[in-house]
Structure 1
Amino acid sequence: MVLQRHGDGGQTVVAFGLDDVRYLRSDAGRLALDEVDRHRLISSTLVSDIASARTLFGDHAAVLVETVQLRRKAVAKFGDATDVSGWLFTDEALQQATAGPVAEHRAQRLAGAAVHDATCSIGTELRALRKWADVVVGSDLDPVRLAMARHNVPELMVCRADALRPITAGAVVVADPARRSGSRRRFDPRAYLPPLDQLLQVLGPREYVLKCAPGADFGVLCRLGFDGEVEVTSLAGGVREACLWSRGLAEGRVRRRASMLDSGEQITDAESDDCEVAPAGRWIVDPDGAVVRAGLVRQYATKHGLWQLDPDIAYLSGDRLPDGVRGFEVLEQLAFSERRLRQALSVRAAGAVEILVRGVDVDPDALRSRLRLRGSEQMSVVITRLGSGAASRATAFICRPSR
């Protein structure tokens, strides 16, 4: 075990070794973890809690405290439905792990299949797959994470192997290449570990499911040889991942899919995109990020009876708000300038203002501070560009949020 400093805040974290994993899995380690778990381990008590653990457990104190803290974080990430109270984690592996509902959603699409998780890490993806797939095996190159996976999902077979040298035949290969180096993100798919272009080449005609960053350029993916379905998934209001499904696992003609786990809704490019472009109606809708990222704004609009404010802007409008969707009721429309907006909001006694921006170079936080509003009403402001070329204009909509 060694201590490392990383991240923007220079946080000290524990780098586990195989000896640490063996200790944590032993009877003595389990009893020690129970003892450390009795401590609060919050900012105001952390120094004294660590001192107490060091007095009782000497050099093992750091891995014990780190493991208890990571288990508590894991409960928040995976939810109460998944018992991770006895699991082992590293800080990086927990950060990289797929949120429980997202992993569950993907596993359901693989129901009944034989699946090989070729970057299984500490086993969080295996946990979801074992409930749906007929056969599940895992592999990874990191011996420490493999040792933790054997502890976390002891009923499954895991072994050490390189994802670029598949050890199975006929199974669907699931891989989640690392997209971070310390605190830095890797934006080029060819810089992932293992590189996405090499994975696509190695897997060739096999069926596979490959995770990539939601911001990945889908055109680049096609040039790398991918010709299946891109699924963008959102949860709790945020886009979580993009997932590449090989052609044989894609659904019919679908090449792009947005899956919104909060509502259970899915939109695909096989659906109609016959929506109009028209002035704002009663409501403005900012579509879920998965819809926007998957390039399915027009399909979403058509399905819900909405229209676009501008053909190149993702904001939609309609006279009826779709069920369960948060929207913004239009109270006033004006040509955008800070002076006009400040005056209009002041007349309406606005105090707290939510600002949404697309297509205009405006920093919402900076603008909010310059508005210097003193009222008591909660308002929303949608600022966007309408039109193109010489006819382009920045427009502001003062709205009342639906919730």
Structure 2
Amino acid sequence: MFIDTAKIFVKSGDGGHGAVSFRREKYVPLGGPDGGDGGDGGDVILVADKNMTTLLDFTYRRKYAAERGIDGTGSKCYGKDGENLYIKVPMGTIIRDEESKKIMADLSHNGDEYVVCKGGKGGKGNAKFTTPTRQAPNFAEPGMPGEEGYILLELKLLADVGLLGFPNVGKSTLLSKVSKAKPKIANYHFTTLKPNLGVVALGGISPFVIADIPGIIEGAAEGVGLGLDFLRHIERTRVLIHVVDISGIEGRDPIEDFIKINEELKRYSVKLWDRPQIVAANKSDMLYDEETFKNFESKVREMGYDKIFKISAATGEGVEPLLKEAARLLSEIPVTDLEISEEERFIREEKRFTHEIRVEDNVYIIEGTFVDRLLLAVNVNDPDSLRYFHKVLRNKGIIDELVAMGIEDGDLVRLNDFEFEFLL
């Protein structure tokens, strides 16, 4: 089975919480704070692996989470960092953000890595909050939450040469003759429902990878038939071999077919349409009128294509010169990575803690991720901790916001389950 797209959920590890601890030893009953920091959460990292060929594994497992950082402890012992989670994907995998559909990374080379979710930073222990005026802080910092979300994996084949053409023109037969690939071959349309790859190793030329890609029909650029699945895979090829049934035994016009395929390529991508293209006039062994080929060759040359080979994939006639020309072209074309435009590229936003203030029944309610994090760090029963709490509110600008909204002394302020009377 060939699977070339997948949707998975990934989550990096949360940071461990800092510890609230005080040194207690014999003869040192009132030792200072010694709470250690929490460990950082593990990252989720995708790695390109040359031994993988499909995204099939991701149909069975769809959720991946890295380890959480360990909480800090007393004696200034820092928590252990969470282990990074490495997820192997095939070479040629494109990672997209599921929400925006923008490209996060293109893992086209063996060993390429991309950190798709960064682990949360560990929180500071109370030992880090001592000041000349605050000798025994009874609070610590919570760990930062890890990142999470859905991503889309999209596999684009890393073939040097792509075979294109309408269904049943002989692409699979040609692949089976020039490589050890064993594609399913039969005399009906859309036999090839998945891409097949083979390695061409011919004396006197450098080996190259050739892909027989699912047949294309009119409307493929809009997703008709196998549509975009077909076009996605030929996007990475450096040379295209356009196979045409020159015999016309199925009642098709080879010139018309040739034009339609190129129109679909141009509609999908001008760069793809402009790629070097070799024309393989196949099934020549079944050609009854030589004028048919001459007419085809003449019209194709008028369109600007001068590399035209009369072949028979079934008998092998003309195949070797075709492959040698493909190898020659490959030697002149450098391997390049997939171009990602600025509009397509995903920009990772820095994680920010947010809040909003609303008034309900004369109570000023503060909500948001900032509130959740602050309350985790505060011990509301400790005076030092409360002073730290009010300092954070002032530094964040929340006190000024409340004043601007008309709050007065004695009005209630609520943060989740914690309420207090406002005093300026």
TM-score normalised according to structure 2 size: 0.22
Rg comparison, structure with higher value: 2
More strand as a share of residues: 1
Between 1 and 2, higher relative CO (CA 8 Å, sep ≥ 6) is seen in 2
